Amino acid sequence: MVNDTLLYFTTALLYLMLGLRDILLRRHHTPEQGEVFASKRAQALLFCVFSVHVLLLKRELFSSELISLSLGNSLSLVGAATVFMYWLGSFRYRLGILRSVIMVITAFLVLAPLVLPTDKPIEYSHMLGFKVHLVISFMAYGLFAVAALHAVLMGIMEQRLHNHDRSMSRWGALPSLVSMDSLLFQMLHVGFVLLTATLVSGILFSEAVFGRPLVWNHKVVFSLLAWGIYAGLLLARHVWGIRGRRAARWTLTGFALLLVGYLGSKFVVELILHRG
């Protein structure tokens, strides 16, 4: 148990150090220099820390044939998925302070299993269909988490721009708002495909296990609502060219629904109702 606890804190510390490293480099150099220094070997370092996180999750989630997806484990898994989806995108895009924000947040998510209760293993989690559904769903959560943080950053930049406040430049070189808006919708398109695949795989798995395509619960309802939000947002982009703050607000609304549907229901069941 001591070794497991030490591994949790070591992983969290590595994420925190990587995030603070980026912040310090940007604070003490020009935006261009800070971005170069922060990016140098950053992808390799990030993948190394992510690999340690994956090993930790493997020990916690797959120590037996069945998977235990408690609230704490789920938070840690969402953090890992967010890091991985950001890491994939970082080969093409540079988003300045966003990487540091993700690292710091994930550092705290890693420690969630230590303070939140562990539920009983899911009895059907050994099935291949469930594992496929799990991987796709957390890839969707991870990408939408990156998109949500990106939307927050867009909102801050747009407000600072209207107020003629250039203080954001100290946190690293960022694309123009037009480029960031375009990137947001690129992420939303991919995320929407993953979310659709999540719902489809969930329907197929439910049919195979329970004999019906949908088991109506909070997770399904909120996931469908989020799917509708993102579908409407992408349609509004295509038809009316929605962008900027309105697009950012709808992005955050969809992500909030996903969080409430999965993590929110687990919070109620495990911490309020005390049921595994």
Q: What is the pLDDT of residues 159-204, one digit of tens each?
A: 776 665 555 555 555 667 788 888 899 999 999 999 999 999 888 8
Give CA–CA dist 261/255, Å, rounded: 10
Parts of the chain with a pLDDT under 70: 1-3, 26-40, 63-64, 94-96, 117-120, 161-175, 208-211, 213-216, 264-276
Q: Structural domain of residue 152, as residue ranges?
A: 2-272
Instruction: Provide the number of structural domains found in the chain.
Output: 1
Give CA–CA dist 190/180, Å, rounded: 16
